[in-house]
Structure 1
Amino acid sequence: MITVDRITIEHHTDPLGIGEAAPRLSWVTSATTPGWRQAAYEIEAETETTGRIDSTDQVLVDWPFAPLTSRQRRHVRVRVWGEDGPASAWSEPAHVEAGLLDPALWTAKLVSPVLPDAGDGGEPAALLRGEIDLPAGVVRARLRATAHGVMTLSLNGAAVGDDVLHPGWTTYARRLRYRTWDVTDALRAGANAIGVHLADGWYRGYLGFGGRREVYGDRTAALVQLEVTLADGSERTYGTDESWRSTLGPLTRADLYMGETYDARRALAGWDAPGFDAASWDPVAVAPLDPAILVAPDGPPVRRTETLPVAEVITTPSGRTILDFGQNLVGRVRVQVPAAESGTTITLRHAEVREDGELGTRPLRAALATDEIISDGTAFAYEPSFTFHGFRYAEVTGWPGEVDPSAFTAIVTHTDMRRTGTFAASDPLLSRLHENVVWGMRGNFLDVPTDCPQRDERLGWTGDLQVFAPTAAYLYDTGGMLSGWLKDLAADQFDDGNVPVYVPWFVADDQMPPLGAEAGWGDAATVVPWTLYERYGDAGVLRRQWASMRAWTDSLAARGGPELAFSEGFSFGDWLDAAAPDDQPWAARLPWQPVAVAYLAQSARIMRDAAAVLGEPADEARYGALFERARARFRDEYVTPSGRAAFASQTAYALAIRFDLLDDAQRAHAGDLLAQQVLADGFRIGSGFLGTPHVCDALADTGNGATAWELLMQRECPSWLYAVTMGATTIWERWNSMLPDGSINPGHMTSFNHYALGAVADFLQRRVAGLAPAAPGYRRIRVAPLPSPHLTWARTAHETPYGPASVSWTLEGEEFALEVVVPPSTEAEVLLPDGSAAVTVGSGSHAFACRFAAPEPPAPPVAFAG
C-alpha cells in the first residue's frame, strides 16, 4: 500500500499569507513494499491537474500552475505511482494562501504612540486601539500586522494568534516581516475593536553589549490591516490610521534585556473591546513606511512550546528564596499572583546558575533580567509579554507569606520549529550531552540564531551558526527560519561583500575594533546555504543566495591579498581555544592567518560545487582555481612536506584534514599527528569554536577513531562531558564557564547557554550512531556507525525530506548488530565496522551483524597517567 502522508509548501509549517507566488511542493510517502520508489506523480489544485508526470522528484518540486496572486488560496493534492502498480490514493489537500505580493495593496498606515523619553531600565509599553464597523455576511477575514518593536494583537477582547515577540527581529530598514492570521470567526456585524499592545523590543530597546538603545529608531510603531470578503464577493480593507488612539497601560517598563514591570492598578478593563471610551487617549502619529520592504515570513513564529514546574524551592545562605526549575531554559515565568495589599511588589530576578548558594547574576553583565508585579489587591495571573530570560533559577522577593511553588510555571519560548532528529546512547552522560545541545538550540533559536539568551548581547553571530548549522538542521526543521535569516544576511552585507560578524547587523559598541572579512564568521554566507542544500535538497537557496555567496568569497580572498597571506588586521580566529587566557579569548594556539586560509579554501570549494549544481561553469572553474590556490598556500606556508603543522594544534590538523588541504600522503600523516596531539593534550579539548567541530571527524576519517572516542568521553576539563558532570543542562560558552569548585569563570564573557561547542552533536548523529546524508536531502543515506566499547548501544532517528530514517546498533563483546530503517524512494549505503564491503539497500527495515574487535585506545602520556 502506498500513501502520500504529508505535503509541505516551501518550508512553511502554516502556509497562510506566504510570500512566494510559485511555492515549491514536497511530499512524504509511505509504502509497505520494500525498496519502493516513486516513478511518477500528479498534482491537482481544484479543477487543474498536471496529469501524470514521470519523475522521481518529490522534494521542493516547482509549482506547476499559474503563479499565485495576492490573497489567492489554492488547495493542492498529490498522488504518486511506483515503478510497478497503480497510483496511490490522493493525499489530503494542503491549503496554501498568498499574502500581499503587491506592495500597493497595503493601505493601512504605520502609526506611532506618544511615549515618554527613554530612561534607564526599559520603557513603558503602549496600548493602541481602533474600531471598525462591519456589515453582516463576512465569509473570510485576514488580519496582517507588523511593528517597529514587538506587539501582541487582540480583536474584540480576544488574543489574535499565539505568537510571542511578534514580528521578531529583522534588518528593519530593508526587510520588515509581517504575519497573517485568519480572524473570520472573531468578527461580528457592527462594531469591532482591534487592540495592539506595543513595546520597544529589538527596535527601540537595549541591544547588544554596548549599552545602546534606539538602535533603529526612537519611536515604536504598529501597522495593522484587516481585509474582509463579504458573501456577495466584495472586499473591504481597514487598518491603522489617524483615527487610532493610544495611551500608556499597565506595563510601566518592558525591555528584552531588563525585564518588565506590570502594575495591575493601571490595568484598563475592556480597552480592546468595542464601545470602550478612549476619548481621553492620545492621537497617534502617522510614520513613513515604504511598503516594498514588507515581507512575509519564511519560517514559523516564536511560540510557547513547553511548561516546566518548579523542581525545588531553595533558601540561600543569605535567607533569600530561589526557585529551581531543574533546566536551563529560555522564556519567562508565569505567576499566579495571590490577593495581597494593593501596591505589594513581587520581584523575580533570573539567572542560569548559583554561586556560593546565591543567584549568580554576574554573567548577565548589564542585563537586569528582572520582572516586577505590582498588586492591585486581587488575585490574578501574570506572564511577561515583551521580554525573555535565559534562566534556570528565579529569585523571588516580596511574595506575601510563604512562597507557593505551584504558583510559578516556567514558559519555554523559541521559534516553533518541528523536531526532526533524536539521539541516545547507553552512556547517560553522552545522552545528556546531546540533550544539552537540544536545549541550547531551543534557547538560542529565538527568531534569530543567537549566541546566548541571557546577558546584554543575544546577537546573531555568524560564526556560531556556521559551525552549528549541520547540527541544527538534523535536530529541527530549520529550512524556513534559516532561509529568512540568510535573506537578512544578504541585506546587511556590506558593499565590498564583507559579511557582518552578526546578523541583523548594527554597531553594538563604538569601542569594537574594525573588522575585515572575518574568516569563519562571514563564511556563514556560504556554509549555511550549502548545509541547507545538503540536508534539505534545497538548490533554490543556493540560487537565491548566489550573489551573496560570491561577494563574500571574493571579499575574503581580497583580504588575503595576492599571496593569500592575510597579513594585516585583527581576526577572531579559533575563538575560545581551550588554552586561551580567560581575558584573551582570541589567543588561540593556531594563529588566525592559517585559519583564514583554510576557511577561504572551504568557501571556494563550496562555491565550486554550488556552481556545478546551478549550472555556472565559469564560476565553477574560477572558484575551483581559488580553492587550489588557497590549498597550495596552506600547504606551502603552514605544513611541512610530510604534513606536520607549523603550529602544532588540534585545530591545525583538523581543518587541514576536513577541508581537504593536504595531499594523500600528508593527510595520512597529519591524521596520526592529530592523534598524537590529542594524546599529548591528555585527551582533552585543544581547540576553539572553529576547530572543535572538526576534530573528532578528522580523527575518524584518518583511522584514529579510538582516539576520537577517548576525546569524546573525557570528563576532565576541558571536555564536552566536564560540563555534564558539573550538572549542566545546556552547552556552555567556555569549557570552564564554571570552575570545579562551583565558582563562575572570572572572565568578563561567560555564558551557560551557548550552542557553538554543541556542534559535536552532529558527530554523535552522523558518526557515533551512523546516519548521514550521502546525497542532497538524504536521497541517498550513508550508514557507517563508529562503535566503541565505551557504549553497548546507540540509536538515532531523523525525519528526512523523504520520511523517517533511523539507525540503531548494539555491541555485546565483539558481537555487533545493526538495524536500519530507510525511507521510501531512497537508498542507503551501509558500511559495517568490521571493514567489509559496503552494501546498498533500498527502503524498508534491514538488519546486519558482524564481529567487531575495537582497536585499543592509545595510552595517555605519563603526565596524565591515572
Structure 2
Amino acid sequence: MSPQPALVTFEHLHNGLGIGVDAPRLSWTLPSGAVAQTGYEIEIERAGVTETTGHVADSGQNFVPWPFRPLTSRERADVRVRVWTPGRSGPSGWSASASVEAGLLHPSDWRALPVAAAWPENPDTDRRPARVRRDFTLGRPVTRARLYITAHGLYEAEINGRRIGDDILSPGWTVYGERLRYYTYDVTDHVVRGANRIGAWLGDGWYRGHIGFDGGYRNLYGTDQSLIAQLEVLHDDGSTTTVATDSTWQAAPSPIVFSGLYEGETFDARLDDAAWSIPGQDTTGPWTPVTVHHRDPSTFTAPTGPAVRCTQILHPASVTAKADGRHLIDFGQNLVGRLRITVDGPAGTTVTLRHAEILQDGELATRPLRAATATDTVILPGGLFTWEPRFTLHGFRYAEVTGWPGELDETAVEARVYHTDMRRTGWFECSNPLVNRLHENVVWSMRGNFVDIPTDCPQRDERLGWTGDIQVFAPTASFLYDCTGMLDSWLRDVAAEQLPDGTVPWYVPVIPGGPQWTPIQPGAAWGDVATLTPWVLYRRSGDLNLLSRHFPMARAWVDLMARLAGPDRLWDSGYQLGDWLDPIAPPEDPAASRTDRYLVATGYFAWSARHLALSAAELGDDEAADRYSGLADEVAGAFRDRYVLPDGRMTSDTPTAYALALVFGLLDEPEQRARAGDRLAEVVLEDGARIATGFVGTPLICDALTDSGHVDVAYRLLTQTECPSWLYPVTMGATTIWERWDGLRPDGSLNPGGMTSFNHYALGAVADWMHRVVAGIEAMEPGFRKLRFRPRPGGGITWARARHETPYGVAAISWEQNATGMLVELTVPAGCEAVVELPRCTPVVLGAGDHRLDTTELDQLAA
C-alpha cells in the first residue's frame, strides 16, 4: 500500500463533530518519508455523493481553504486527501477518512429554552443544585442522534442511565452575555426505540457561583441554574424527533447538597438513586415542573478547542495515619483535579476531604487558599461506594481525609488530574536533573492553569484569566501544547471585554475586583496581550485568519497607548503594575519594583506598536504597516531620550530595564546595545546571579544576556539554586512553578503575603529560552515552515534534546558534547527546511528528513 498522509484535521480541532463554521479549513501532514508536497487532491463524501478537487498544484497543507459547497447545519461529510511528492510518479495513497459535522450554525436552529427548578430559592443562601429530566418515546429505529447542550451554570447529562461524554465543567467560562459555548455529542448508542429518558445534573459554576477574590461574588451572570438541551434523533425513514428543553421537563433536588468551584462539594448519597435517568425505574423525587427562562441563541457558539477532561490518574505516594483518626495523603505532585474514593462504611458516615498545596508543621497549609475552603464531603449510603465530586476542582498535592471508616488503604483513593484536553506538542530534556525538574514543573503548572481559560492560579479564591500572565507565557505554552484553539476562544472574550476606548482588562472574563482593579484601567504588559499573543499563536500555528480576527483588538490597544502617551510618545501616566513581583517588592505591595513602571509602560508601547506593524504586513495592509512601524520608531526614540543616560546606563539601573531595552530593540546603535548588555551582566553578577526581576523582566533576561554576548551569565541564572532563583523551589521540593520566588522560605515557613500560590506558570516562561537556546529549536517562519536549530551550550550542561510537533510534523534536535566538539541529530518535518547554526561552524541549510552532524567534520569542511 502506498504511503498516505495523516488524517485531515479541521480548523484547530482534531474532532470535527459539532464544528461551528460552514467551511472549515483543512490541514494534514505528509506521508512518512516524503520531503515535500507539490500537489494535492481532496475528496469529500456527503449524503452518498462524492466530489473531488482533482489535482491541485500547490504545496499548501496547513489551513487549506474548504474547496467545496459550505456545510449546512447538522450536515456531515467525510474528507480524505492524497498528495504528490517529488520522486514519485503518481500520488500517494488516500489518507483515512476524517469526519466533520456542522453544529447548529444559526440561531433559528435552536428550539431549546433554558429550564430550571421552579421551587422557591434564595440564590444567596440556598445553593442546592437541581437535576432536570424528561421522558420521551421513539416510535421508529434510530439512525443517528445528536445532543446539542449548554447551560446557565454547569451540566453533566445522562440518557437512559449512561453519562454523556467525559468532559467536566462544561460549557466552561466565557463572557456569557456575548458567547455561551455549546457542545455536540453523538448519542446514537444511548437512545433506543421505545421508552427513553434524558436528564442532567446542574451546578452553579462560574455563572452564578462564588468566584473572585476579596471575599468573592455570586450570581454575576444570573440567578437561574438552567439547562439548554436539544436532542435530535434521525430515524430510518428520514424523519426527525426533537426533544428540547421546555416546560414539559421536570426538576428535583439533587443529592449534591452544595457545590462550589472554590468551596468544594457535599454529596449525600442516601438521597440518590442511580436509576434516576432510567425510564420508570427510580424512586427519587418529588419531580416538579420546571421554570422556563430567557435565552438568546445568537450568543451560542461552538467550541474552537477541546473540553476539560481527566488526563491522568495519580495514586498516593504516601498515606500517614494521624493519632486522631485522620489520614494525610501525599500524591508527590502538585496538581489540579479532585479525589475519587472507594469506601465501605455504614449509612450516614461522613467522610471529609480537605486539600492544600503545601504542608506547614505536618498539617495542611490552608492560609494561601484564602476564602477557598476546598473541602469535599460525602455522606455514605451504606456498603461499598465509589464517589468523586462533579462541579468543583482543587489545586493540591496533599489531602486530609477525616471520618474514614477503619484504616485507609492507598488503593482506595486516587487523584484525577483535570485540565483542558490539549494535545502535547513539546518536550525538553538535558543533562542537568534540576533543570529537567524545573521544566517538568512548568508543564504541570500549565496543565493546572489551562482549565477552559488560562488562569493565574488554580487553588485560591481567584483563578482568573490574567492577561499579563498568558502574555509572557504564550511562547512557552504554544510549544508545549496545541493550545491555539483554546487561546483563540479566550482572545475572543478579551475582544468582547475590551472597552470602547481600547482598554484591555487586567483579567478576562471580567468580574468585580475591588478598587485596585475596578474601574478597569489600561496597564502595560497586561493589555499587550491584545497584540503579542495573537502574533505568537500565528507564528506557532501559521493561522493567518487568527491574526486577522484579532487585529482590530490589537489596533485599538495600540491606538489607546498612542493617545495616552501623546506627542512626546512617553506613556508616563496612570496606574501601572510595572515589574510585578520583583523579589524586593514587599509582600503587601507586589508592584513596588526597583524598575520605573513608566519605563516598562513605554517599552511595551514600542514593542506592541512594532508587532502591530508586523501583523499588518502579514495581512497585506501596507499603509498600517508603515504607520505603526513609524510609531514604534518614534516611541523607541522617546524611550532612549528619557531612560538611557549619556554613559549608556539607564535611569533604572536594573536587570529588567536593560533586558527590556535589549529584547524589545529599543537601543539603536551597536555600541549602545553592547554597553547595555555588559551592564546587564554586571548587575546580574552583582546580585550573585540570583533573580532580581519580576513578571516583566524574568521572561526577557536570559534572551537579553544571550543576544548581547553573555550566554554564560544566562546559564548562571538558570542553574542558580540560592533564593531567589528558578531552581531554588526545585531544591525545596517544588513540583510546580511558584508565584513568589520565596513562597516557601529556607526555614520551611510560608511567605506571609496574601498572594502565595504554589502553582503559577508566569515565571516559568524561561522554558521558552530553554527550548530555543539550551536545546536550540525555534521557528523562523509561521507554522515552523522554516526553522532554526541553534543550540548554545553552557552551564555545565553536556547534552540536551527537544522535540516539537509542528503543523507539518515532528521537528527534533538532540545534541551531545564530546572531546572534539558536538554530535547533533536533527529531524526536519516534511515540507520544511532548517537552518543549522552550530558552535564554531558555518551555518548549513537542510531539507526534510533525519540528519546526523558532527561539528568536527563541519569544521574540516569549512576549512
The TM-score normalised by the length of structure 2 is: 0.96
Q: Deviations over 1:185-237 (max 9, x none)?
A: 11111221111100100111111103211111111111000111111212232
> Does residue 636 of structure 1 match 2:641?
yes
> Contact 2:527–2:557 (CA<8 Å) still a contact in 1?
yes
Q: Deviations over 1:233-266 (max 9, x none)?
A: 1223221000111111111010000000011111
Q: Which secondary structure does the structure 1 equivalent of 2:558 belong to?
A: helix
**1:596 Cα deviation from its structure 2 partner:** 0.8
Task: Name 2:331's counterpart in structure 1.
Answer: 325
Distance 1:753 1:27 in 2: 35
> Does residue 728 of structure 1 match 2:734?
yes
**1:781 Cα deviation from its structure 2 partner:** 0.7
Task: Name 1:281's counterpart in structure 2.
Answer: 287
Aligned partner of 1:164 among 146, 161, 168? 168
Q: 1:484 to 1:15 in 2, by over 3 A?
A: same
Give the stretch that moved more between structures: 176-185 or 120-129.
Answer: 120-129
Letter in structure 1 aligned against 2:66 = W
Aligned partner of 1:717 among 718, 723, 732? 723
1:198-213 alignment to 2 at 5 Å? 198-210=202-214, 211-213=216-218
Letter in structure 2 aligned against 1:652 = A
5+ residue gaps, structure 1: 853-866
> Does residue 595 of structure 1 match 2:603?
no
**1:381 Cα deviation from its structure 2 partner:** 0.3
> Contact 1:212–1:508 (CA<8 Å) still a contact in 2?
no
> Contact 1:6–1:29 (CA<8 Å) still a contact in 2?
no
> Does residue 405 of structure 1 match 2:404?
no
> Contact 1:420–1:475 (CA<8 Å) still a contact in 2?
yes
Aligned partner of 1:752 among 752, 758, 766? 758
Q: 1:290 to 1:789 in 2, by over 3 A?
A: closer
> Contact 2:667–2:673 (CA<8 Å) still a contact in 1?
yes
Q: Deviations over 1:760-780 (max 9, x none)?
A: 111111110001001100001
Distance 1:195 1:645 in 2: 65
Task: Name 1:38's counterpart in structure 2.
Answer: 37
Task: Name 2:76's counterpart in structure 1.
Answer: 73
Give the stretch that moved more between structures: 457-466 or 236-245.
Answer: 236-245
> Does residue 56 of structure 1 match 2:59?
yes
Seq. identity, %:
53
Q: Which secondary structure does the structure 2 equivalent of 1:198 belong to?
A: strand
Aligned partner of 1:194 among 181, 195, 198? 198
Q: Which secondary structure does the structure 2 equivalent of 1:703 belong to?
A: coil
Q: 1:687 to 1:112 in 2, by over 3 A?
A: same
> Contact 1:40–1:56 (CA<8 Å) still a contact in 2?
yes
Distance 1:780 1:325 in 2: 42
Distance 2:497 2:180 in 1: 13
Task: Name 1:152's counterpart in structure 2.
Answer: 156
Distance 1:119 1:62 in 2: 48
Task: Name 1:548's counterpart in structure 2.
Answer: 553
Task: Name 2:15's counterpart in structure 1.
Answer: 14
Letter in structure 2 aligned against 1:239 = A
> Contact 2:579–2:695 (CA<8 Å) still a contact in 1?
yes
Q: Which secondary structure does the structure 1 equivalent of 2:552 belong to?
A: helix
Task: Name 2:500's counterpart in structure 1.
Answer: 495
Aligned partner of 2:676 among 659, 662, 670? 670
> Contact 1:81–1:88 (CA<8 Å) still a contact in 2?
yes
Task: Name 1:24's counterpart in structure 2.
Answer: 25
Distance 2:554 2:495 in 1: 9
Give the stretch that moved more between structures: 401-410 or 433-442.
Answer: 401-410
Distance 1:813 1:710 in 2: 23
Task: Name 1:419's counterpart in structure 2.
Answer: 424
Q: Which secondary structure does the structure 2 equivalent of 1:209 belong to?
A: coil
> Does residue 468 of structure 1 match 2:469?
no
> Contact 1:641–1:666 (CA<8 Å) still a contact in 2?
no
Distance 1:372 1:795 in 2: 45
Letter in structure 2 aligned against 1:294 = F
> Contact 2:326–2:400 (CA<8 Å) still a contact in 1?
yes
**1:642 Cα deviation from its structure 2 partner:** 5.0
Task: Name 1:795's counterpart in structure 2.
Answer: 801
Task: Name 2:536's counterpart in structure 1.
Answer: 531
Distance 2:285 2:749 in 1: 56
Task: Name 1:482's counterpart in structure 2.
Answer: 487
Task: Name 2:860's counterpart in structure 1.
Answer: none
**1:625 Cα deviation from its structure 2 partner:** 1.5
Distance 1:828 1:429 in 2: 30
> Contact 2:262–2:373 (CA<8 Å) still a contact in 1?
yes
> Does residue 343 of structure 1 match 2:348?
yes
Q: Deviations over 1:681-710 (max 9, x none)?
A: 110111111110110011111111111110
**1:378 Cα deviation from its structure 2 partner:** 2.1
1:679-698 alignment to 2 at 5 Å? 679-698=685-704
Q: Deviations over 1:466-519 (max 9, x none)?
A: 000011101010111111111111111111111111111121335645442111
1:756-775 alignment to 2 at 5 Å? 756-775=762-781
Q: Which secondary structure does the structure 1 equivalent of 2:510 belong to?
A: coil
Distance 1:284 1:188 in 2: 25
**1:851 Cα deviation from its structure 2 partner:** 5.8
**1:533 Cα deviation from its structure 2 partner:** 0.6
Q: Which secondary structure does the structure 2 equivalent of 1:186 belong to?
A: coil
Q: Which secondary structure does the structure 2 equivalent of 1:707 belong to?
A: helix
Distance 2:25 2:223 in 1: 40
Letter in structure 2 aligned against 1:236 = T
Letter in structure 1 aligned against 2:18 = G
Distance 2:119 2:591 in 1: 42
**1:401 Cα deviation from its structure 2 partner:** 1.5
Distance 1:115 1:224 in 2: 21
Distance 1:316 1:595 in 2: 51
Q: Which secondary structure does the structure 1 equivalent of 2:423 belong to?
A: coil
Task: Name 2:239's counterpart in structure 1.
Answer: 234
Q: RMSD over aligned Cα, in angstroms?
A: 1.6
> Contact 2:326–2:403 (CA<8 Å) still a contact in 1?
no
**1:120 Cα deviation from its structure 2 partner:** 7.5
Give the stretch that moved more between structures: 203-212 or 723-732.
Answer: 203-212
Distance 2:802 2:125 in 1: 46
> Does residue 215 of structure 1 match 2:215?
no
Letter in structure 1 aligned against 2:528 = D
Task: Name 1:459's counterpart in structure 2.
Answer: 464
Q: 1:845 to 1:281 in 2, by over 3 A?
A: same
Task: Name 2:861's counterpart in structure 1.
Answer: none
1:805-824 alignment to 2 at 5 Å? 805-824=811-830
Aligned partner of 1:257 among 249, 257, 262? 262
> Contact 2:25–2:64 (CA<8 Å) still a contact in 1?
yes
Distance 1:603 1:135 in 2: 61
Task: Name 1:93's counterpart in structure 2.
Answer: 97
Distance 2:644 2:608 in 1: 20
Aligned partner of 1:571 among 562, 570, 576? 576
Q: Which secondary structure does the structure 1 equivalent of 2:435 belong to?
A: helix
Give the stretch that moved more between structures: 653-662 or 508-517.
Answer: 508-517
**1:344 Cα deviation from its structure 2 partner:** 1.4
Aligned partner of 1:786 among 765, 789, 792? 792
Q: 1:122 to 1:724 in 2, by over 3 A?
A: farther
> Does residue 738 of structure 1 match 2:744?
yes
**1:386 Cα deviation from its structure 2 partner:** 0.4
> Contact 1:112–1:221 (CA<8 Å) still a contact in 2?
yes
**1:277 Cα deviation from its structure 2 partner:** 6.9
Distance 2:517 2:305 in 1: 32
> Contact 2:123–2:223 (CA<8 Å) still a contact in 1?
no
Letter in structure 1 aligned against 2:753 = G
Distance 2:856 2:696 in 1: 36
> Does residue 703 of structure 1 match 2:703?
no
**1:318 Cα deviation from its structure 2 partner:** 7.8
The TM-score normalised by the length of structure 1 is: 0.96
Distance 2:431 2:323 in 1: 38
Q: Which secondary structure does the structure 1 equivalent of 2:196 belong to?
A: strand
Q: How many residues of Structure 1 are paired with residues of Structure 2 in the alignment?
A: 848
Letter in structure 2 aligned against 1:334 = R
